[in-house]
Amino acid sequence: MGVSKLEKYILNSKPRIGWEGTEDPNHFEISKLIYQNRPEFRYIYDDMLSQEREDAINELLRSEFENLFSETRYLLIKDCLNLRFKELRTILNHTKGGTPEKAYCDKWRSNKI
């Protein structure tokens, strides 16, 4: 199964910061590195990526912004946010020692080439 344009967009977006010893990391790699190497910040990710937080963000998006955008743009923003939640949870779950979802690694690798 191919990578959608939205998935490619979020996987290829780059932060304005880097990490020593890592060449050209994306946002997800930076998050993984922080989670692995700075355990004092893990609680931030754990809270930020909770289902309750995702639900609250989606509700805020709906109540405050849905009427400000076209339906297509609103749905794109919503899908982008939800996809980022999913990808971050997958990576951090793997970092915690959970079962990795092979899909993320395959998608990211295919976009690096």
Partner residues linked to 19 by β-bridges? 22
Question: What pTM value is reported for the model?
Answer: 0.74
Q: What is the pLDDT of residue 98?
A: 55
Question: Which residue, among 15, 18, 16, 6, has the nearest Cα to 86 in the 3D structure?
Answer: 6
Q: What is the pLDDT of residue 2?
A: 66
Give the list of residues 6+ apart from residue 87 with CB closer than 8 angstroms, or none. Answer: 10, 11, 28, 104
From first to last of its 113 residues, the chain has per-residue pLDDT tens of 567 888 888 888 888 888 999 988 998 999 999 999 999 999 999 999 999 999 999 999 999 999 999 999 999 999 999 999 999 999 888 887 754 444 444 554 455 43
Could you write out the three-class secondary structure of 40-99? Answer: HHHHHHHHHCCHHHHHHHHHHHHHHHHHHCCHHHHHHHHHHHHHHHHHHHHHHHHHCCCC
Q: What are phi and psi of 22, to 5 degrees?
A: -125, 120
